Structure 1
């Protein structure tokens, strides 16, 4: 079991330190330096999912010891998004007589990008200077045109359907509030490379190529403790950590917020982690997870690595998908 606990006194060495300033010039430099474009061929659409090899999956399966499963995703909310005020999930249900019995039928309509729902971003979700990952043009993403209903909308490259075989690999949970002896990080707190590596040492794990990295910042715990659900500030990764993600070979990034610290420290630019991850590295991102129960189970078992499965909907041309990510111990 770990020697540190959720409510332990925060060690002085883990006191918040101001992360390095990053300019647009630095971001532009990193977009080029960290690029995985062409690494797996000029026609590649999988990006860092290429790092999850059959051998990696077999090693992940070997981590299953007692068969305990824990979802890392939120229960779908039918309430208005607290930031936008818009209802992003509509559920209609009818009960119809069919054949020899009654069947309940329902329809779902969901706007999953945003702050409300657990989802995974495909590599078609982010553009930079009119390009997507691997140099594909943003013109490959066709928006719905009411005046041209026959036109097929969607991403002709990098759509979520490329993940239709699912994602299964070793996952590592990085619980920064637990590291710092608090229930949650204050909004706007940036997680640094030092934080990530300190967690590795304390938890006795190391992030390796092909891993799914889950970052807990305690956003839902913050909401529960304060009732402040409309605060646009978010704790998350400082943009400088993306260099570390590339070096470690992270295959999928997930967070119980949206991975980027907001404000990012870059004036007028709030999602530099998303830009570098999706556009440059080809690294899929899961947003709005619920890692609270997973953290509790991991702490009880003293295990911060486990097998994880992710099964996005195979929607042709989708820029992402609602998702239920499952940890298996």
Structure 2
């Protein structure tokens, strides 16, 4: 997501400084009336969908983990059973030191001294340049965070509720790759391409895989392949992703986490007045952490070579107290 205002330094560790940005830019809405399952388009329709699908109170009024609760001990053991070769693949893109259209805020400083070396690494990991996971305090709907927590719980001191530290013990679960670019027979989807439930179900049938409670789904649009071929572009308001109607399908299957190689939402937005409706519905409504800007190219190659689209997923966010998210290195293990 393209972030704009209110940067505040909220944490640092082992010579690494993390800068968190708060505030979300607005993007004009785009109508996609001709797509399957189109809608909602109006704010009233979107509000009704949010009310219908949200998980507020499902795990108790004080819950701060949301759909992460679906990753049970049994689910993690099941995921470990998927490891047959012991081969691992990173799903994270190396942070980019150079500024670009999709990476406007990069800043690295390497300090050399006698006997030791240190780094100060400062970047806005929210946006489109850094692989990261969003905390449940990252998005607000009608003045409320997930589970009905007032947005005022988040201040310049950080998130008083739903900070990324709630995932301190990490994520170990079954991962499933949704390679929609491969389904369409193209190296990458063009920016603005909407992905519908019908596309996901067609892919699952082709791949011979099912989705189960507690899974994490990774959507490959081919964003990094397109960048390698054509160069960087401004993804804010111009990227392939899922249509808002897919969120119902996600909830019905009790998916625990969702991620993509861009920002999950198709952009431009299809809902008037809501810049990132899928992000808002997943995070503030379902209580679902989202993986953004994951590099799924090596994973797609490995999965195709193995003809196997499920794997054990291991990820560990940096547990910054009150953090709105965290850069991370997510690992798929086959």
Under a length normalisation based on structure 1, what TM-score does the superposition of the two structures give?
0.88
Tell whether the 8 Å contact from 2:36 to 2:196 is kept in structure 1 after alignment: no
Aligned 1:44-83 pairs, distance under 5 A: 44-83=63-102
> How far apart are the structure 2 equivalents of 1:262 and 1:91?
30
**Pairing partner for 1:313 from 318, 322, 328:** 318
Q: Identify if the C-alpha distance between structure 1 residues 311 and 93 changes in structure 2 by more than 3 Å, giving closer, same or farther.
A: same
Q: Is 1:212 matched with 2:225?
A: no
| Alpha-carbon distance between aligned partners in 1 of 2:277 and 2:40, rounded to the nearest angstrom | 10
- Specify which of 287, 297, 322 is matched with residue 292 of structure 2: 287
Question: 1:255 aligns to what?
Answer: 260
Q: 1:105 and 1:227, CA in 2 relative to 1: closer, same or farther beyond 3 A? A: closer
Structure 2: gaps spanning 5 or more residues? 1-33
1:274 is matched with: 279
After superposition, the Cα gap between the structure-2 partners of 1:155 and 1:93, relative to the gap in structure 1 and judged at 3 Å, is: same
User: 1:184 deviation in Å?
Assistant: 0.8
Partner residue of 1:127?
140
Unaligned runs of 5+ residues in structure 1 are: 1-15, 144-152
Larger Rg: 1
Count residues with an aligned counterpart: 299
* Corresponding residue to 1:21 among 5, 18, 39: 39
What's the CA shift for 1:270?
2.8
SS at match of 1:25: helix
- Conserved in 2, the CA contact under 8 Å of 1:260 and 1:270? no
Cα displacement string for residues 230-269 of structure 1 (whole angstroms, at most 9, x for unaligned residues): 3541000000000001001111111001000001222343
Assess if the C-alpha contact under 8 Å between 2:78 and 2:174 holds in 1: yes
Cα separation, 1, equivalents of 2:150 and 2:37: 33
Q: Deviations over 1:85-131 (max 9, x none)?
A: x742322222333xxxx211222112110111011000000011110
Length-normalised TM-score, structure 2: 0.86
Q: C-alpha root-mean-square deviation of aligned residues, in Å?
A: 1.5
Which residue does the alignment assign to 1:92?
109
Q: What is aligned with 2:199?
A: 195
Q: Contact conserved, 1:81 with 1:115, CA < 8 A, in 2?
A: no
Distance between the aligned counterparts of 2:40 and 2:201, measured in 1?
21
Q: Which runs of 4+ in 1 moved over 4 A?
A: 16-19
* Pairs within 5 Å for 1:99-110: 102-110=115-123
In the alignment, what sits opposite 1:328? Answer: 333
Q: Distance in 2 between matches of 1:35 and 1:19?
A: 19
